[in-house]
Amino acid sequence: MHQLVFATHNAHKLHEVSAKIDGQIKLLSLDDIGCLDDIAETGTTFHQNASIKSNYIHTEFKLDCFADDSGLEIDALDGEPGVYSARYAGEHGNHQANINKVLTRLSGQNNRSARFRTVISLIWNGAEHFFEGTAEGTIRQERAGTDGFGYDPIFEPLGYNVTFAEMSLEEKNRISHRAKAMEKLIAFLNGK
């Protein structure tokens, strides 16, 4: 059976993807292969960061693998925060500070269109493939909802009148940028 590493430590994500692959591929996490390394995301695009992570695993462990990079792009801010989404306000992963910075920078702006973008880099039999997914929407004036993480409390997906943070995980996962990219990856793998 072919083995494939998902460059994550998140067991829930791993289980979710495993359930969608038809069983011809054994999915492994970074924990499964003993990778505790902190892979620096030094790229300036989602493609570069996803590629850095997947190529690192492929080079170090000689295994097929995939990695993703995601972020929020706001039109009025020329695509910011983009690849810096997790550390937009400085400290990595300070969601409240990141949201505050976005809301402050958008103050008085009429154009609040934005999108979440995910890019997956897959290395399969030595060749690299990319899969992308986006979720279009707008940035709310203020937070709403308590579920989700990151910018979910201020992102309202197109066609909805609730934020990602007001949706159930199942509902969000049906329309999210990551779900769309993962569907493309899984279709590719199931065709192998």
Active site residues: 69
- Local structure of 91: helix, strand or coil: coil
d(CA 121, CA 107): 35
Taking CA atoms, 90 is separated from 81, 141, 161, 170, in Å, by 11, 22, 30, 31
Contact at 8 Å (CB) between 66 and 6?
A: yes
Question: For the chain, how far is it from start to end, CA to CA, in angstroms?
Answer: 12
d(CA 88, CA 103): 12
Structure token pair of residue 3: 């083995």
Annotated binding site: 8-13, 69-70, 149-152, 172, 177-178
d(CA 20, CA 14): 10
